A and B are shown apart, each in its own frame.
Chain A
Amino acid sequence: MSKKHIFPILLAICAALYPVLSDDRYIMNILIMILLYATIASGWNILGGYGGQLSLGHALFFGLGAYTSTLLYLNFGLSPWVGMIIAVIVCIIAGMLIGIPTFKLRGPYFTLGTIAFAEVIRHVTLYWRDLTNGSMGLNIKYEPSFAAMIFKEYEYYYWLILGLLVLTTLLVHWIDRNKMGYYLKAIREDEDAAETLGINTSKYKMLAMMISTGITGLAGVFYAQFNLFFEPESVFHMNISTEIALIAIIGGAGTVYGPILGAFIIIPLNEILRASFPDIHGMNYFVYGILLIVIVILTPNGLLPIITKWWDKIFRKKVSKTKGVTKYDLESQ
């Protein structure tokens, strides 16, 4: 274990200890949302950040996860712990099925394709009332028990989602350090060149899709259990897809910790803006939109690379042993 890992590990330990120190429900609620979005954005990051396939349809898998486990629970009494596994499998299969046509598309057209799929599912869910209860949404009865994955104490939700985030981060870290990470980045930069270097680009894109959608589905199950109520608009809406991608991009797409940083910025930002302008309808999102534009333009590669650079400057003195433009210099321009 190298020095580099100490910081994130310490951070994770502190995070795990947090509920012992404070039981402010409001803060805890926000923290849970941050960790939830950090998890989904990390999942998105594998496909969108590393693989460069900018999906704006990930809400589909978030909702699919939520609906799968909840419908299994409501109709067959299946424990969400089992439902979670099934939801992940369903999302992985859905990811594959969607990947087959959409991976034929490149650039903006891939993005449009993913939006279309998510919209289809949103509308089908709204329409198919017998199964999904349509726009009324699904309600899980509040009967706390471990088997039902419903907890009275927020701490348990907190630890659960923290655990999911840690596992996801470990997975992304592994990808980042191994062949797959290199291959995905190569595909992101130039698919033809990647192919001639021996990369089965279809296979790796599909793999990234499957991992990414699996994680997103898992997060969807958590969301259902935490909220105990959801409807098509609250899980399938395009705004969720864009929020997921945005968090990863603002933090630093294609980096291990970028999406986590992004979640710690965007979710509280939303919260602060909402609290700051309670009177004028729309003011908070108006400011949010402006900030979004400014941040995305000023830091096209996200904030993490810039922070890393500062960190290196302060603590390591030398950014790089070699002369010329380094990776970080360009990323921060």
Chain B
Amino acid sequence: MILKVNNVSKHFQGVKAVNGTSFHVEEKEIVGVIGPNGAGKTTLFNLISGSLPVTSGTIEFKGETITNQKAYILCKKGIGRTYQVVKPFGTISVLENVMVGAFNKHNSRDQAAKISKEILKQVGLYEKRDQIGNSLTLADKKRLEVAKALATQPALLLLDEVMAGLNPSEVKEILPLILQLRDEGITIVIIEHLMEVVMTICDRIVVVHHGEKIAEGTPKEIANHPEVIKAYLGDEVSYA
């Protein structure tokens, strides 16, 4: 078990963004986290990656309790994440953006550049490596998010809606990448609204609603889960 989230809560002045959620992730699994808008998915990632402190509960990574450790320490320990609201380093080149991540494990500039170029090829941004971060399209900025996180060489990768805003053919391009990353030994937790994506690539799915976990299981189990159907239909959001 690489990640274990125990009864974790995060409250923002009355808003219970995450409320007593528990789940775990096995090594080399792809786990999907789904739920309606405002369900608390991103907040959950913020807690796991150390971007926000928890209100209560504990988080374990590779058997070690890591609750409320600083984000940079967790990155060093092997947790990588992307931001749903992309955060490119706007005025430096795409290559330099990725190299910042690569310096996590490598001190030499040449080594960092080499690794970054490979990752850029993998995510399909190699041709744009000299452009500055701000000049990319949203789809490319999402790719850049993935590239930066990958460059830190994480054991656990948290992907927050990296496919939102991509067109179907772009989604088709990125899916094999995710599977390939798993084959390389990276464990992946993915937040995604595109049901067909979640259903095809995830081994297991965790469903959250109003900050609470309402269901967990294989894609098949989830698809027929009454609570899940109710949550989605009840919120009148058409995802599936």
Contact = CB atoms under 8 A, between A and B. Distances in A.
Contacts of B67: none
A5 to B, nearest CB: 16
A186 B100 contact: yes
A183 B131 CA distance: 19
B77 to A, nearest CB: 9
A151 B100 CA distance: 46
B109 to A, nearest CB: 6
A322 B130 contact: yes
Contact of A185 (B96, B127, B152): B96
Given A182-B99, A183-B103, A322-B129, A330 B135 contact: yes
Nearest to A178: B109
Interface in A173-200: 177-179, 182-183, 185-186, 189-190, 192-200
Interface in A9-32: none
A270 interface: no
Contact of A179 (B51, B76, B91, B107): B107
Contacts of B152: 197-198
Interface string A305-333: 00000000000000011111111001100
Interface residues of A, number: 30
B185 interface: no
Contacts of A197: 72, 75, 100-101, 104, 148-149, 151-152
A120 B240 CA distance: 62
Given A186-B100, A189-B89, A198-B104, A327 B132 contact: yes
Most chain-B Cβ atoms within 10 A of its Cβ — which of A196, A301, A322?
Answer: A196
Given A178-B109, A179-B109, A326 B101 contact: no
A201 interface: yes
Contacts of B101: 197-198
B38 interface: no
Interface string B17-41: 0000000000000000000000000
Contact of B131 (A195, A301, A324): A324
B148 A192 contact: no
B interface bracket (residues with beta carbon within 8 Å of A): 35 or more
B100 A324 contact: no
Given A189-B92, A196-B49, A179 B130 contact: no
Contacts of A192: 51, 71, 87
A182 B131 contact: no
Contact of B127 (A178, A189, A322): A322
B81 interface: yes
Given A179-B109, A183-B103, A193-B87, A330 B72 contact: no
B61 to A, nearest CB: 15
A321 B130 contact: yes
Nearest to B133: A189
Given A193-B87, A324-B131, A324-B135, A199 B109 contact: no
Given A198-B75, A320-B130, A325-B131, A179 B103 contact: yes
A326 B107 CA distance: 26
B71 A190 contact: no
Contacts of A189: 88-92, 133
Contacts of A301: 91
Contacts of B93: 326-327
B148 A324 contact: no
Given A179-B109, A196-B50, A198-B152, 15 more contacts: A185-B96, A189-B89, A192-B71, A193-B88, A194-B100, A196-B51, A196-B75, A199-B100, A322-B129, A323-B127, A324-B131, A325-B135, A326-B93, A327-B92, A327-B93
Interface of A: 177-179, 182-183, 185-186, 189-190, 192-201, 301, 320-327, 330-331
Interface of B: 49-51, 70-72, 75-76, 80-81, 83, 87-93, 96, 99-101, 103-104, 107, 109, 112, 127-135, 148-149, 151-152
9 contacts: A178-B109, A193-B148, A196-B75, A197-B151, A323-B127, A324-B135, A325-B132, A327-B92, A327-B93
